[in-house]
Amino acid sequence: MIPFPWPGCSTATPPGHLLLESPLLLGNDEAIATDDIDVLAEHISLAVPVRDIAPLGPQQQFRHRSSYRIAGDMGLAAATATPTRLWVDENSECAVVLLRQGSAHYHLDGHDFFAAAGSSGMFLPGMDYIQDTSLASGLIYNLSPQLLGRYLCEASGGNLHLDDAIHHLQCPQAIDLKHPSIPQVLFGLQVLIRTIDCLGRQAQPDALPLVRLQEGIYALSAGLLMPDYAPRALSSWQPIP
């Protein structure tokens, strides 16, 4: 299993040629190193609406490896890329970014946010944004805020009302990966993502196994966003009809 960096571990980014060869979180076997930036945009667009993409640096030095899976209504894209700028349009979905290596800067809603492997992820609420990455490797997936709000309420044990949960999901958030409850959440996500990966790119997205796995990612994503509720999200998850 390919781990996310745990809090306290080394997050130094290896040289570019080594990072490009490192395993992706999903779809590693079919991902090839290429300079075709449109392929990277196509894969990321399964999770968020990419308006434009460009290398940060000379075009001839741009390289990436990327792949994807679809589970239910969720697109998951894994990528390793040399420094890149991404412009994303406003949309009705939200998204989570988790990095295994490197870092990313986000500008949205008039504010700047930072995500780094081993210390912070990023929750993106559907606003348009600009993302600048270092030489980095990670995963992005999309979520319905209405459904995620229901999982937040479930994880809270009734302490959070749905309207409050939806309001919470309208704000960008740096995800604290150093919270003591987060390692178990990340481990659970790895298991789910690995299982989705093993089902293959050709699996029907609306097949029951993939829909159930998608529900698991919703439940654990609630734990990522509100880590005080993570133990309940981990122990009491069940599909919400």
Q: What is the pLDDT of residues 197-211, one digit of tens each?
A: 999 988 999 999 999
Tokens of 85: 């700028």
Amino acid at 59: Q
Spell out a b/e string for 90-123, using b for 16 or more CB atoms within 10 Å of the CB, else e. Answer: eeebbbbbbbbbbbbbbebeeeebebbbbbbbbb
Residues of the chain with pLDDT > 70: what percent? 90
DSSP 22-58: SPPSS-GGG---B--HHHHHHHHTTTS-EEEEEESS-
Residue 26 to residue 158: CA distance in whole angstroms: 34
pLDDT number for residue 81: 96
* Predicted confidence (pLDDT) at residue 105 exceeds the cutoff of 90: yes
Residues 6+ apart with CB under 8 A from 227: 176, 179, 181, 182, 185
pTM: 0.91
Dump pLDDT digits (tens) for 50-68. Answer: 999 999 989 889 999 999 9
CATH of domain 16-235: 2.60.120.10
pLDDT number for residue 46: 97
* Predicted confidence (pLDDT) at residue 11 exceeds the cutoff of 60: no
Amino acid at 133: T
DSSP state of 61: G
CB atoms closer than 10 angstroms to residue 216: 20
**Residue 240 confidence class, pLDDT cut points 50, 70, 90:** very low
